Structure 1
Amino acid sequence: MALTKKGSRLITVDGVVYKWRVRGRPTYAQALGERPLAVAVEQADCKGSVLLVTMPQDHPSNWIGGRSVPVLPSQVAAVIRKALGEGWRPGQSATAFRTTATDASQEPSTP
């Protein structure tokens, strides 16, 4: 499984370039607020294992009016480092590696 270029963003973590994206349209369960937002990450220069991250917020296009909080690049970098520590090997061909973002402080800071 590989990420599409359309809608994906690049991020460099510890000198390695990764591609990440949030699904544009929510799944039915995400739209109802029954499932959280998911982010997919892969190493940009090779087709290896994809990292699937469950985020602690609702999808921005949910139908129930749940508050959407943007996924920040700093959160993506933190979860990439966490997954690498848990054993994710992005350069090796394997099934998708799943992890959960545990940072509950998704609130944007207000001045």
Structure 2
Amino acid sequence: MALNKKGSRRITVDGIEYRWRIRKKPSYTQGLCWTPMTYAVEAASGIQPGTILIVTSGQAHPSNWVGVESGPLPPAHVADSIRAARDQGWDPTRGGSPFQLDRSAGFIAQP
């Protein structure tokens, strides 16, 4: 599975280029702020797509439906998430199921 290039952003972490993307429309639970926003990361180069990294952030999706404020996702957060996932065994060059990284500590779901 590969990320859609349209709407993705590039970031270089430790000399390796990645693409990351936030889903434009929130899922139902993200729209109601029951769950935090997620974003996907993949290696930008390579002939075959590798394993996708799915990061669960600690903030609400910016397009939520209940008016909860959500600031921009800083590139430093994305870079830190990539490093943390690499430390935990994510290899973006190998195929397989998406690698999940949960960084949602402190997220408070809305009632």
Q: Residues 1-111 of structure 1 correspond to what in structure 2 (within 5 A)?
A: 1-46=1-46, 47-101=49-103
SS at match of 2:20: strand
Distance 1:98 1:30 in 2: 17
Find the aligned partners of 2:87 and 2:63 in 1 and give their Cα distance: 31
Asked which structure has the greater RCO (Cα within 8 Å, sep 6+), the reply is 2
- Kindly state the Cα deviation for residue 81 of structure 1 after the two structures are TM-superposed: 0.2
Residue 29 of structure 1 aligns to a residue in which SS? helix
Shift of 1:101: 2.1
1:21-58 deviation line (CA, Å, top 9, x unaligned): 10001111110111110010000012100000000000
Offset, 1:102: 5.5
Contact 2:59 2:104 in 1 (8 A): no
Q: Tell me how many residue pairs correspond in the alignment.
A: 104
In structure 2, stretches of 5+ residues that fail to align are: 107-111
Distance 1:38 1:53 in 2: 5
Structure 2 Cα separation of the partners of residues 25 and 89 of structure 1 = 28
Give SS of 1:12's match: strand
AA of the residue aligned to 2:15: G
* 3-state DSSP of counterpart to 2:81: helix
**By how many angstroms is 1:100 displaced?**
1.5
TM-score under structure 1 normalisation? 0.90
Percentage of identical aligned residues: 47
Root-mean-square deviation (CA), in Å?
1.2
Which consecutive unaligned segments of at least 5 residues does structure 1 have? 105-111
